[in-house]
Amino acid sequence: MTTLPNFAACDACNQRTAVVLKEQAVRKGVVETYFDCIVCGAHYPTAITNSALRTKIETLKQLRLTDGSATESIDALKSEIAADMKVLRERYGLA
Protein backbone atom coordinates (compact mmCIF):
# COMPACT_ATOMS: atom_id res chain seq x y z
CA MET A 1 0.00 0.00 0.00
CA THR A 2 1.38 3.38 -0.99
CA THR A 3 1.16 6.20 1.52
CA LEU A 4 0.51 9.69 0.26
CA PRO A 5 2.79 12.51 1.44
CA ASN A 6 1.60 15.12 3.89
CA PHE A 7 1.61 18.71 2.74
CA ALA A 8 2.03 22.03 4.56
CA ALA A 9 1.89 25.67 3.57
CA CYS A 10 5.29 27.35 3.83
CA ASP A 11 5.27 30.49 5.98
CA ALA A 12 8.17 31.97 4.00
CA CYS A 13 6.96 31.59 0.41
CA ASN A 14 3.26 30.71 0.92
CA GLN A 15 3.60 27.70 -1.38
CA ARG A 16 2.39 24.19 -0.68
CA THR A 17 5.26 21.86 0.17
CA ALA A 18 5.53 18.13 0.78
CA VAL A 19 6.54 17.22 4.32
CA VAL A 20 9.47 14.85 3.95
CA LEU A 21 10.88 14.26 7.41
CA LYS A 22 14.65 14.12 7.77
CA GLU A 23 16.94 13.64 10.75
CA GLN A 24 20.24 15.24 11.60
CA ALA A 25 22.51 14.88 14.61
CA VAL A 26 22.75 18.07 16.64
CA ARG A 27 25.23 16.67 19.15
CA LYS A 28 26.19 13.20 20.24
CA GLY A 29 22.91 11.43 21.06
CA VAL A 30 20.71 14.43 20.20
CA VAL A 31 18.72 14.23 16.96
CA GLU A 32 16.63 16.91 15.25
CA THR A 33 13.73 15.80 13.06
CA TYR A 34 12.77 18.41 10.47
CA PHE A 35 11.58 19.14 6.96
CA ASP A 36 12.55 21.80 4.44
CA CYS A 37 10.28 23.64 2.02
CA ILE A 38 10.89 22.16 -1.43
CA VAL A 39 10.25 25.57 -3.03
CA CYS A 40 12.33 28.06 -0.98
CA GLY A 41 14.29 25.81 1.40
CA ALA A 42 12.82 27.21 4.64
CA HIS A 43 13.73 24.96 7.59
CA TYR A 44 10.98 23.58 9.87
CA PRO A 45 12.14 21.66 12.96
CA THR A 46 9.45 19.25 14.17
CA ALA A 47 11.13 17.46 17.09
CA ILE A 48 14.40 17.20 18.96
CA THR A 49 15.16 14.11 20.99
CA ASN A 50 17.87 12.48 23.03
CA SER A 51 18.17 8.80 23.94
CA ALA A 52 16.11 9.15 27.15
CA LEU A 53 13.33 10.94 25.28
CA ARG A 54 13.32 8.37 22.47
CA THR A 55 12.93 5.64 25.12
CA LYS A 56 9.91 7.47 26.57
CA ILE A 57 8.39 7.84 23.10
CA GLU A 58 8.82 4.11 22.48
CA THR A 59 7.19 3.38 25.85
CA LEU A 60 4.29 5.64 24.85
CA LYS A 61 3.87 3.73 21.59
CA GLN A 62 3.72 0.45 23.51
CA LEU A 63 1.18 1.86 25.98
CA ARG A 64 -1.04 2.95 23.11
CA LEU A 65 -1.04 -0.62 21.78
CA THR A 66 -2.51 -1.95 25.03
CA ASP A 67 -6.24 -2.31 25.59
CA GLY A 68 -6.65 1.38 26.47
CA SER A 69 -6.92 0.97 30.23
CA ALA A 70 -3.73 2.98 30.82
CA THR A 71 -5.22 6.37 29.84
CA GLU A 72 -3.78 8.15 32.88
CA SER A 73 -0.32 6.70 32.21
CA ILE A 74 -0.50 7.75 28.58
CA ASP A 75 -1.52 11.31 29.45
CA ALA A 76 1.19 11.63 32.10
CA LEU A 77 3.86 10.30 29.74
CA LYS A 78 2.71 12.59 26.90
CA SER A 79 3.05 15.68 29.11
CA GLU A 80 6.44 14.50 30.38
CA ILE A 81 7.65 14.03 26.78
CA ALA A 82 6.36 17.49 25.80
CA ALA A 83 8.15 19.11 28.75
CA ASP A 84 11.42 17.29 28.00
CA MET A 85 11.22 18.21 24.33
CA LYS A 86 10.62 21.87 25.25
CA VAL A 87 13.79 21.87 27.37
CA LEU A 88 15.80 20.38 24.49
CA ARG A 89 14.36 22.89 21.98
CA GLU A 90 15.36 25.78 24.24
CA ARG A 91 18.80 24.32 24.95
CA TYR A 92 19.62 23.90 21.26
CA GLY A 93 17.92 27.06 19.98
CA LEU A 94 15.04 25.38 18.17
CA ALA A 95 12.21 26.89 20.24
Q: Kindly report, residue by residue over 3-60, the tens digit of the pLDDT.
A: 777 999 999 999 999 999 999 998 899 999 999 999 999 999 999 999 999 999 999 9
Kind of pairing, strands 30-36 and 43-49? antiparallel
pTM of the model: 0.76
